Structure 1
Amino acid sequence: MAPAATSGGSSLPSGLAVFTTFPDLLFIPEFDAAYHCTAALFYLSASVLEALATIQMHDGFTYKQYHENISAVVFSYVATLLYVVHAVYSLIRWKSS
Structure 2
Amino acid sequence: MAATTAKPMASLPSGMGICTTAPDIFYLPELIFGGLVWILVASTHILPPNPLAWVMFVSLFCFVMTFLWLVIFACGGHKNSFGWATADFVYHFLAVIFYLSAGVILAYITFIAKAIQMFRIYQIDISAVVFAFATTLLYFIHAILSAIRWRNF
Number of equivalenced pairs: 81
* In structure 2, distance between residues paired with 1:30 and 1:85: 18
**Structure 1 moving runs of 4+ over 4 Å:** 22-25
**Runs of 5+ unmatched residues, structure 2:** 1-7, 18-71
* In structure 2, distance between residues paired with 1:68 and 1:42: 21
Q: CA contact under 8 A between 1:47 and 1:76: conserved in structure 2?
A: yes
Of 10, 13, 20, the residue aligned with 1:12 is 10
Of 64, 76, 95, the residue aligned with 2:132 is 76
* Cα 1:95–1:35 shift into 2, 3 Å: same
* Cα 1:95–1:42 shift into 2, 3 Å: same
Counterpart code for 2:131: F
Of 141, 148, 153, the residue aligned with 1:85 is 141
Match in the other structure for 1:63: 119
**Runs of 5+ unmatched residues, structure 1:** 1-9
* In structure 1, distance between residues paired with 2:90 and 2:138: 16
* Cα 1:30–1:86 shift into 2, 3 Å: farther
The structure whose residues are more often helix, as a share, is 2
Match in the other structure for 2:97: 41
Counterpart code for 1:71: S
| Larger-gyration structure (1/2) | 1
Cα RMSD of the aligned pairs, angstroms, is: 2.8
